[in-house]
Structure 1
Amino acid sequence: MSKGKGKVWRRFDYGNKAATAPPPHTLVWIVETYYERGVTLGYFDGFTMRTWVGSDDCRVTHWKKLKRPAMPELVGEEAGE
């Protein structure tokens, strides 16, 4: 596993959600092993994990914070000129 902010995969335990879930309603990377069987986006709704489309028909083993990209350089009217 990579170390550093946003680079660590965290284990999610359905039996210990309070200690292992990401912050509620925050989009994160998830490892889904039921249908997707790989890495996709998802979130914790305060009760269970869901895929990014809102389905709780999933089995999540790990999650990881999304890294926010830098803003693009603004030009012309976008830059307020």
Structure 2
Amino acid sequence: AVDISSVFSDSEYFALADRDYVNVTSTRGPFYRTEQPVRSLTECLLARCVTDCQAVLFHLDACHLLRFPVLPHELKNVAGKFATRV
């Protein structure tokens, strides 16, 4: 098991962040993808956010993996913890 404090204490990993929302259009595929089930924020960050992932929004058992460190407006009503790669 990974200690969650180590995920946020090392600058090469992630930090909890304020939410910034944008209207997104892309010709290069979706702005984010969702993986379920995910048991924890730690699993979301360390095991799921690997390729083409700059931020995550973790809520209940869903991990929204974002290509950029901002949230699309369609996730505005999703609660949870938002973390960005530092």
Question: What is the TM-score with the length of structure 2 in the denominator?
Answer: 0.31
**Higher relative contact order structure (alpha carbons within 8 Å, sequence separation ≥ 6):** 2
Structure of larger gyration radius: 1
Question: What is the TM-score with the length of structure 1 in the denominator?
Answer: 0.32
Give 1 or 2: higher helix fraction: 2
